[in-house]
Chains A and B, each alone.
Chain A
């Protein structure tokens, strides 16, 4: 691990890549990591939360809050599912790009322009055309806007090898200020807050207004899983991601694959934006996506880019988020606490992947005489 120099001690251990690891061992490591992370969260919480310092016995409540936050009431549970669905949707959208080793850090912006586009359609056409047509137009606008936001970096990357991580990252802020611009134009009062639209709301399915969104995302998960693993496009994505040389060797058009995949990735982000805009908020603000575009990167990566696994990882993150929000409420602390807790747990999970992928062998050999 560290460089050996003359006179320096022998390293204590040797690292090598693992060839295979039984699934239960891998999961054991990850669960252990989360467990350790939760312990550290407890310590940090103790340092930060005065009410906990005064009454240390409430530490049980602290951990119970994670259950309570997600499953406490029916309303909370539905909200939990809805939050998972939105985060999952963005993560799913990013995944085709990641599979292609195209580091799309622009999920935030691609989703945000999706929200903006559908609200724009709603703003200008709402009430003048039939509601179903309006919804369809809004959807089309969202998909198009997201796809466009993904297309620009893809073309530059395919054509000139422009660094896509930085490009997509910058596009996020262009999107943010674009939203700010339209808010200035639309909201004459200058308050920058767009009141909820009266039209263009996704229909409610059954008894719960979140149900439709959840079902859409669930269907998308399955579709994307199939798309990535069982279709020719998915196969091409994997080959191009793994080796452009191989792709060219068998006659794949790598540029076409990059552009097509980013169109899809962007459009799916646009869809997430549509679900947020037409399904939930009926308004747009610079905070409509609220950083979920970034969290989604982690969701996708933690699940090793497997759409089905992402249900779990997005569930975990939202569980932490809602739990921490519950803690903020119960213990009367700043609303930023969820970020701290999610951050800590993420550090531990990220770190644990190392122990899944590498084997550490401690060197027990007696030190060779170094003279």
Chain B
């Protein structure tokens, strides 16, 4: 029983990476922009945070300041990526798929170049008690949870609230559904698109940071962020473009992603090594099924934002 609980908590903690990534992507997609650069943005977020930690890690600043500055570095880098993306796709109206893929190429590459130069002993010897507050002292699995984890949950809930219950959210959804209409009623479409993309990128970037310094806290962690980024995009579909749903979805995805290594620990269940990749494939298969089922049921509320992938130019209408 305890094994199961441990495993659940581990999945939840792992899932926070996706919560950041998908919540960021949802905000972007709600503005009508499919950002395939999210994996790159998450990488850059991780790199930015680690770079900052690397610089200040030995400066003797108070630990919470170090954590805060690390987060700042992460957000800074990822927002910068978001700016590149939004400048190209919003202002220059470039093809979103192509721009996103270029951003991923760029972000992943740059992260690797940066990370290889950093000293893991500096950026990882972060003040663990701050990441894992208030559970740092515990010996059980709860120890895996901390402020960055709760921040992810909070961001997903806040994003969900903003999207459905506030004027800003209403305007943003209108921009993604029908930009010409939004424009006609005086909503600044360009500004909303920029803000949604950049804030979304900032949030996504935190996912990379969280994964490297908190969840994994290992030198090799950065190598798997790209894959997690793609999984985050999948999770957006799974969550039907609803940020709070990413909390549940990320747990499921986290569970499937890591259960292959976990299942072997359970007495009575024998799993061959070959099962592992199949289990990891499951999140994607489930996502595809969700995508197909929602399109068959054709419920308007569960569809991607109507203008997703199209650039908006007022004079085209």
Contact = CB atoms under 8 A, between A and B. Distances in A.
Q: Does A touch B (CB under 8 Å) in the complex? A: yes
B191 A170 contact: no
Contacts of B36: 105, 169
Interface stretch (B92-100, B129-137, B151-159, B195-203): B92-100
B168 interface: no
Contacts, number: 180
Interface string B291-317: 110011010000010001100010110
Contact of A339 (B92, B105, B189, B276): B105
A62 B292 CA distance: 49
Nearest to A2: B190
Interface in B266-297: 272-274, 276-278, 280-281, 284-285, 287-288, 291-292, 295-296
Interface in A340-367: 340-344, 346-347, 350-351, 353-354, 357-358
B56 interface: no
A298 B190 contact: no
A170 B291 contact: yes
Contacts of B34: 165
- Most B CB contacts (10 A, CB to CB) among A165, A179, A337 go to A165
Contacts of B93: 354, 357-358
Contact of B101 (A173, A179, A297, A340): A297
A3 B313 contact: no
- Most B CB contacts (10 A, CB to CB) among A170, A336, A351 go to A170
B276 A162 contact: no
A347 B89 CA distance: 11
B29 to A, nearest CB: 10
A347 B106 contact: yes
A341 B110 CA distance: 9
A160 B293 CA distance: 9
B191 A184 contact: no
Contacts of A294: 101, 104-105
B84 A338 contact: no
B95 A350 contact: yes
A297 B91 CA distance: 22
A357 to B, nearest CB: 8
A170 B289 CA distance: 10
Interface stretch (B11-19, B69-77, B229-237): B229-237
A165 B97 contact: yes
Nearest to A339: B109
Contacts of B103: 343, 347
Nearest to B283: A173
A131 to B, nearest CB: 30
Nearest to B188: A3
A165 B291 CA distance: 11
A173 B281 CA distance: 7
A106 to B, nearest CB: 11
A339 B95 contact: no
A16 interface: yes
A204 interface: no
B125 to A, nearest CB: 23
B113 A337 contact: yes
B221 interface: no
Contacts of B108: 336, 339
A348 B315 CA distance: 25
Interface of B: 34, 36, 84, 87-88, 91-95, 97-99, 101-114, 116-117, 183, 186-191, 230-231, 233-234, 237, 272-274, 276-278, 280-281, 284-285, 287-288, 291-292, 295-296, 298, 304, 308-309, 313, 315-316
9 shortest A-B CB distances, which residue pairs? A339-B109, A343-B106, A336-B112, A180-B277, A177-B281, A354-B92, A346-B102, A184-B274, A162-B295
24 contacts: A2-B191, A17-B313, A17-B315, A103-B97, A160-B295, A160-B298, A162-B292, A165-B97, A166-B234, A166-B291, A167-B292, A173-B230, A173-B231, A298-B98, A301-B95, A334-B117, A336-B109, A336-B116, A338-B109, A339-B105, A339-B106, A341-B109, A350-B99, A351-B92
